[in-house]
Structure 1
Amino acid sequence: MPTPSDELVKRSADMLVAGYYLSRCGTKSSTGQADGPPLAIGVSTWNAAYDFFYDAMGDGRSPEQFRNSLKNTRDTFDHLFSNGRTGWVNQDGKRPSIRNNFARTHEEWKNRTDQELQAFVLRLQSAISDDDPVGQPTSLAVTEGGQKVYASTRRERSQKARSAAIAIHGLECMGCGFGFEKAYGPLGKDFIEVHHVVPLSEAGRVQTDPLNDLIVLCANCHRMVHRNRSICLSLDELRQHLKDVASPL
């Protein structure tokens, strides 16, 4: 069950959809059992899958708290799907029915295709995914319809700058050359992640030059430049790591 630390920050609607996607669209082994995260997010372990959404949905949690909360979210949805996982069970070993926001998320997406769900979640993650840790939740704003609404702080990002970066740099990863449309066909069309060379958390409020301040990266390379959260690799450093692996001494 969720731990007290997970409940300090309420799960957002974005996080619920991400958990629903992870539960419903994970890869399966040849026997049909659950095998790993969805292929489209480019990671092979569940912890890496949770980390994939951290920048966009962390909402002030520590990385460990976020992993636990998103895992709990995924587990809550598990019994809805034939994904090889049991999901949450109560003390009697029975699967409880989902309720409240979890039920609303399922109702919203149950009749839509996996492709629609995946495209929505990837756009959701990519639109905010960046280098800037999400700020701490600040205060309770208002109560509406029996649901508490929380205010949190996020760095403001320019969609115009993002679009300009893609127009300048294209849709192939500047680190490894990966192209989402080449790999996934129409599902991957027009998809790439945009990375600030200097993280917004360090730069603050600045004028962004899409040519020099932004680069485009696939999900894997974007995770790797932030693999050590205290150090952001440059594009040259990332390429050197790839070169070292491709041409070992």
Structure 2
Amino acid sequence: MATVRDIGETRKRSDDMILVGYFLSRCTDFSDGKVSRPPTSLGVDSWNGAYDLFFDVLAEGRSLQQFRHTLKGTRDIFDTLFDNGRKGWSEGQKRGSQLSARDRAVHEHWIRNSDEDLFRKVREFLVEQGRHRNPDWTRDELIIALDYHLNHGNFDPRPQSEEIGELAQRIAKVGAALGLIERGLLLRTPDAIAMKLRNFSSFDPQYTDNGRKGLTNGNRLEVELWEQFSGRPDEVARVANGILELIGDSDAEILAFDEPEFEASEGRIMTRVHVSRERNSTLVKKKKYVALRQHGCLACEVCGFDFLQTYGERGREFIECHHTLPISSLGEHGKTNLKDLALVCSNCHRMIHARRPWWSIDDAKAALIGANGSRAQS
């Protein structure tokens, strides 16, 4: 039987991988007394299928084949402890004799708990979505992680440290607010978070100038956020704190409506709150009332378009509202005032939100003036 050493595995197994290996061994389905199958709670038929469920969060740079072998070897170690129809790490060995101190600690902790409790813990790595695969990291989660990297200077994050544990809890709150996970569960494991932080380290000259590389499998969104915030640690801290403050204060705003078709640089949560405040019917009605009293019409504050003037009665009191406060400051402003709203036509509103970073009203006016000037010259 292949061992971890036999396949050339030199990386240290994470505590999370040991726990999953323990679960796979202990909860093996041997109900027919003939064939050992993966735990039924995973909903897969093959052992490779079971291993693959954990690849995204536990691979730590291993190839899929290396990961399968390592997790299989970890599972095999625990087979000597359970009557699961498998022969275990070494047939004939005394039960548990091959366990390392870390393996034994996992067994001694979890043997006092039920299989259901064990799966509930393992399920934190899976998050029921599709076939138990974790959803991709959101911009919001990455902002929280990037804030930690830029403002804590920790280039060698330890998954089992108290700081990473607290970071995992903050990221889990973001996932719960976005509806990606049930409250109280972890969306990203400490190991997965440490890997993500090492991705950011690979972009950071303070780390790479010393000849170190970090992890080099960062994705496009990580690169985009690094380019946006790496030189502005105070700004990313402001955005991260704002996201967490909004989660505490604005759950109804965050979850009340369908996903906007656009997303701000500051992430999905701030975008949802921004849009919900633009659509607040009471505020919008008051804003229109004040504008009619002051100007006698509802004209776009960017281009001057008037729906009533153009479309007649059908366009009466038709116009959209745009929330003008910088989206990164939403967490600092719990209440939206009328002065924070601008009346804009549909076209200008879409142009403001068309690309990141979003335009201000003045940006939109300047672009319109510039475009009109270019047409006049031609």
Among residues 134, 159, 163, which one is paired with 2:172 in the alignment?
A: 159
Query: Match for residue 207 of structure 2?
Result: none
Partner Cα separation in structure 2 for residue 159 and residue 45 of structure 1: 30
Count residues in correspondence: 170
CA 1:104/1:170 → structure 2, altered by over 3 Å: closer, same or farther? closer
Partner Cα separation in structure 2 for residue 35 and residue 114 of structure 1: 17
Partner Cα separation in structure 1 for residue 101 and residue 26 of structure 2: 19
Structure 2 stretches lacking a partner, 5+ long: 138-154, 162-167, 189-217, 226-264, 273-378
Query: Match for residue 238 of structure 1?
Result: none
Query: Match for residue 93 of structure 2?
Result: 94
**Post-superposition offset of 1:40:** 1.8
SS, match of residue 122 in structure 1: helix
Partner Cα separation in structure 2 for residue 28 and residue 3 of structure 1: 28
Partner Cα separation in structure 2 for residue 121 and residue 44 of structure 1: 18
Query: Match for residue 360 of structure 2?
Result: none
SS, match of residue 79 in structure 1: helix
Deviations 1:108-135 (A, max 9, x none): 1111111111101101443993436xxx
Q: Does 1:13 align with 2:15?
A: yes
CA 1:6/1:101 → structure 2, altered by over 3 Å: closer, same or farther? farther
Query: Match for residue 66 of structure 2?
Result: 65
Query: Residue type matched to 1:109 in 2?
Result: W
Partner Cα separation in structure 2 for residue 160 and residue 170 of structure 1: 9
Query: Match for residue 111 of structure 1?
Result: 112
Equivalent residues of 1:23, 1:81 under 8 A apart: yes
**Post-superposition offset of 1:66:** 0.7
Equivalent residues of 2:172, 2:187 under 8 A apart: no
CA 1:191/1:36 → structure 2, altered by over 3 Å: closer, same or farther? farther
Query: Residue type matched to 1:129 in 2?
Result: N
Deviations 1:60-109 (A, max 9, x none): 1111111100000000000100100001117xx53561231111111111
Equivalent residues of 1:109, 1:117 under 8 A apart: yes
Equivalent residues of 1:55, 1:131 under 8 A apart: no
- Structure number with greater Rg is 2
Determine which structure has the larger helix proportion and give its number.
Answer: 2
CA 1:44/1:208 → structure 2, altered by over 3 Å: closer, same or farther? farther
**Post-superposition offset of 1:36:** 1.3
Q: TM-score, with normalisation over the residues of structure 2?
A: 0.38
CA 1:192/1:37 → structure 2, altered by over 3 Å: closer, same or farther? farther
CA RMSD between the two structures:
4.0
Deviations 1:6-42 (A, max 9, x none): 53210111110000000011222322x4431112222
Q: Does 1:208 align with 2:267?
A: yes
Partner Cα separation in structure 2 for residue 170 and residue 49 of structure 1: 21
Structure 1 stretches lacking a partner, 5+ long: 133-138, 143-148, 150-155, 172-188, 195-199, 214-249
**Post-superposition offset of 1:43:** 1.4
Equivalent residues of 1:54, 1:63 under 8 A apart: yes
Q: Report percent identity of matched pairs.
A: 33
CA 1:68/1:84 → structure 2, altered by over 3 Å: closer, same or farther? same
Considering Cα pairs closer than 8 Å and 6+ residues apart, tell me whether 1 or 2 has the greater RCO: 1
SS, match of residue 36 in structure 2: strand
**Post-superposition offset of 1:170:** 8.9
CA 1:119/1:141 → structure 2, altered by over 3 Å: closer, same or farther? closer
CA 1:34/1:83 → structure 2, altered by over 3 Å: closer, same or farther? farther
**Post-superposition offset of 1:55:** 1.1
SS, match of residue 27 in structure 1: coil
Partner Cα separation in structure 2 for residue 9 and residue 68 of structure 1: 13
**Post-superposition offset of 1:59:** 1.1
Query: Match for residue 197 of structure 2?
Result: none
Query: Match for residue 37 of structure 2?
Result: 36
Equivalent residues of 2:181, 2:187 under 8 A apart: no
Partner Cα separation in structure 1 for residue 59 and residue 181 of structure 2: 28
Determine which structure has the larger strand proportion and give its number.
Answer: 1
SS, match of residue 9 in structure 2: helix
Within a 5 Å distance, the mapping from 1:165-204 to structure 2 comes to 165-166=178-179, 201-204=219-222
Partner Cα separation in structure 2 for residue 110 and residue 7 of structure 1: 28
Deviations 1:171-222 (A, max 9, x none): 8xxxxxxxxxxxxxxxxx998989xxxxx83322353326999xxxxxxxxx
